[in-house]
Amino acid sequence: MAFPDGPDDPHAKHPQPIHIAFCVDDNYVNPMLVTARSVRGTMAPTGRPLVFHLLDGGLSPEGRDAALDGLGRVGDARFHQVADGLRIPDWHAADNPNYNWWTSASLRRLHLAEVVPESVERVLYLDADTLAVEDVTALHDTDLQGRCLAAVGVDRPPGYWPEALAAAGDRRTHTRYFNSGVLVLDLHRWREQRVGPRAAALYQAHERVLRHPDQDTLNILLDDQWVGVDPRWNRLVQYHRGDPFGLERMAALDTDEGILHFGGRVKPWHDSYPDTPLRRRYRAYQ
């Protein structure tokens, strides 16, 4: 996909905006605003305008207003409601205690192409527990090579993955797997291939074996429809209390490269998160 009137076009009069999407509930409004501020803060002063698309993941009126006010301070903010959005069932937390902080807001990304205006052909989706430490313009403009999305490939989840594939009636090899916390989406192709409705149907049919709800769904559905990007664009940081390796890894990740993604239950906005350079980076945007 070409982006005319981009930052390198000497004849540009109206640079193409960078569209960024979030899906949150009240619990993640403030972290989302930190992410948005970091995106703006790492862009060049003459960078392209930002348009934020906020999908309602269960926001109260007060949460919605606070989110839109905060986003409006760093770019153009637009709100989208999702009719009949997918929900993570109550039993998911009991079945998957290591992931029981997830909420149904995480599934809203599957509906992006259905609610964002058709005039928007590309969007950068970011989880609300990410932090930009490098200008995301290059990531947003990734050559998708005619595929639906770009993402960072990671190791496949162990154990249950073949069970999930079998339950979904999928007999492909699936040698690759991506993390869905940072995605560059070709919304035109998503609409053309009806990714949203197909993903919703797959999730509803097999939710019991999909431990990572939206992520597993997209990996099964789009196995050959994504391109990998440099791992720096989704640098996973997961802190476990009492884990010295975690602290060492956090020190090694303290560089001005890409996007940090704070996985796990304990996040840098929690008081129990260790006082490390990464936490101080994060809190500089609070």
The 10 Å Cβ neighbour count of residue 3 is 16
Q: What percent of the chain has pLDDT over 90?
A: 55
Tell me whether residue 239 is in a domain: no
- Low pLDDT (below 70) residues in the chain: 1-14, 84-102, 157-175, 240-249
Tell me whether residue 163 is in a domain: yes
Tell me whether residue 240 is in a domain: no
Tell me whether residue 33 is in a domain: yes
Among 235, 285, 7, which Cα is nearest to 140's? 7
Cβ atoms of 49 and 12 within 8 Å: the answer is no
Tell me whether residue 237 is in a domain: no
User: CA 11, CA 14: separation in Å to the nearest integer?
Assistant: 9
User: CA 243, CA 195: separation in Å to the nearest integer?
Assistant: 39
Q: In total, how many domains does the chain have?
A: 1
- List, in sequence order, every beta strand (DSSP E) within 96-174: 122-126, 130-132, 149-151
Cβ atoms of 109 and 183 within 8 Å: the answer is yes
Tell me whether residue 216 is in a domain: yes
pLDDT of residue 121: 95
pLDDT of residue 9: 46
Q: Which helix (H) or strand (E) holds 24?
A: strand 18-24
Tell me whether residue 13 is in a domain: no
Q: Which amino acid is residue 20, in one-letter code?
A: I
Q: Which tokens is 198 given? A: 């197909």
Among 183, 169, 180, 200, which Cα is nearest to 102's? 180
Q: Which tokens is 82 given? A: 């999702």
Among 267, 260, 1, 269, which Cα is nearest to 132's? 260
pLDDT, tens digit, for every residue of 168-223? 666 666 668 899 999 999 999 999 999 999 998 888 888 777 778 888 889 888 98
Give, to the nearest 10 degrees, the angle between helix 61-72 and helix 29-41: 10
Q: Which amino acid is residue 162, in one-letter code?
A: P
Tell me whether residue 9 is in a domain: no
Among 225, 220, 217, 224, which Cα is nearest to 149's? 225
Range of the domain at 161: 18-232
Q: What is the CATH number of the domain that holds 54?
A: 3.90.550.10
pLDDT of residue 86: 62
pTM equals 0.87
